[in-house]
Chain A
Amino acid sequence: MDNNLKEQILRSSGVNVLKCMRCGKCSGTCPSYDEMEYHPHQFVYMVEKGDIQKLMESESIYKCLTCFACVERCPRNVEPAKVVEAVRLAAIRQQGNNHLTPVQIPGMLDEDLPQQAIVTAFRKYTK
């Protein structure tokens, strides 16, 4: 089961997790480091080990800002954000597993909130 999941994450992300040399630069530069239970370098090695369920159940997958800092700064070009995205998609593609629903939106609005925030959040949190 987890092997299938691992294959799915690797294919969807296009990332070769074996390139990682565990330097931790991705996590060091991550603006969401403090908010994450599992950090970008942990996503890479936990996917390598096939230890994916824990990642899918963690709030960490909703803390990535998709800022591409880890993608840009990885000395081995591993692109950890793509792994986080693939794990998040594996979670929210399951029926009933959307992280954000339209009924929540009215409570989140204020007069200045740009549309961009809403569409981006839906793209990240919802299938």
Chain B
Amino acid sequence: MEQSVTYTYYPGCTLRTKARDLDEYTRSSAAALGIALVEPDEWQCCGGAYTTARDELATKLSAVRTLNAAKERGNALVTVCYACHNVIKQTNYDISHDEDMAAKINNYMKLAQPYTGETTVYHYLELLRDVVGFDELKKAVKNPFKGKKIAAYYGCLLLRPGKKLAMDDPENPSIMEDFIRAVGGTPVIYSQRNECCGGYITMEDKAQAAKRSGAVMSSAKDMGADMMITACPLCLYNLKKNSGSDLPVYYFTELLAEALGLKDVPETAPEGKDEANG
């Protein structure tokens, strides 16, 4: 690995509250791998969901502000939450392909320089694959997950729409399985790995959230998984709280930190209980 490279890092609302584990293990593992993550000065919540409507502009502004902050620093932008990643990448794609939208947003924002999609956006997994390299990551692993059968959960937001997110084949992805191999585990392929967990429907329809997340968990368990990994706080919530399954679910960054020897706890780590601290 080369010397430390700086990226603008956007944690998003939940990584500061219910998903502190996801944030902290992202930071510690990045530091160990020679990546410096620096937050924008005043970031705002991405809004959680991309509004596809062409006449929705105000709901896209916070993502544009984040993208522009990275541009002004001359950095690429790194996200880790599936939802932030989805919103920010889709906004970036649209503002670079839709001149009308770009003109209206720039007229309103009056930035020093107009923003038209100049920033490169990475999900942290992409950074591990494309910048660090999974082969290099493998060399840095101190505590490999030997013999562990690990199910990668992509859900809906990490890869779709494939044209805009452009990080892996949305129907037959491999990036998380390659990550699992790099940390010494055995990936488990299961049919529901890129189907939705129910997302925000948990707010008003627990039965539907239970049905969707239950289908994901039982699909992984049927294929012999010992545990599941994700990078989405809402997926984690649905899979743990609504699915009715006892299959353990972790943020992939927790496994990464443990593999890199950044956690004190031995391999059978206790449940990473999120701190309820708003």
Contacts and interface: CB of A to CB of B under 8 A. Distances in A.
Nearest to A71: B161
Contacts of A123: 47-49, 51, 59
A23 to B, nearest CB: 17
Interface stretch (B135-143, B219-227, B233-241, B255-263): B233-241
B195 interface: yes
Contacts of A67: 155-157, 160, 195-196, 199
B156 A116 contact: no
B88 to A, nearest CB: 14
- Max chain A C-beta neighbours (<10 A), residue from B49, B156, B274: B49
Interface in B75-92: 81, 83
A11 B101 CA distance: 13
A69 B199 contact: no
A65 B203 contact: no
A14 B53 CA distance: 8
A116 B13 contact: yes
Chain A contact residues: over half helix, strand or loop, or mixed? helix
The B contact surface, by secondary structure, is loop
A86 B53 CA distance: 6
Contacts of A41: none
A75 to B, nearest CB: 13
Nearest to A124: B49
B245 interface: no
B240 to A, nearest CB: 8
B196 A11 contact: no
A31 B202 CA distance: 14
A71 B165 CA distance: 13
A57 B195 CA distance: 28
B4 interface: no
Interface string B197-214: 011111111001001100
Given A112-B241, A115-B13, A119-B48, A89 B196 contact: no
A81 interface: yes
B171 interface: yes
Contacts of A73: 171
B45 interface: yes
A116 to B, nearest CB: 4
Nearest to B46: A119
A71 B233 CA distance: 23
A32 interface: yes
A119 B47 contact: yes
B173 to A, nearest CB: 12
B160 A116 contact: no
Given A112-B240, A123-B47, 6 more contacts: A31-B212, A32-B208, A72-B170, A113-B202, A114-B19, A120-B48
Closest 3 CB pairs of A and B: A120-B48, A67-B156, A67-B196
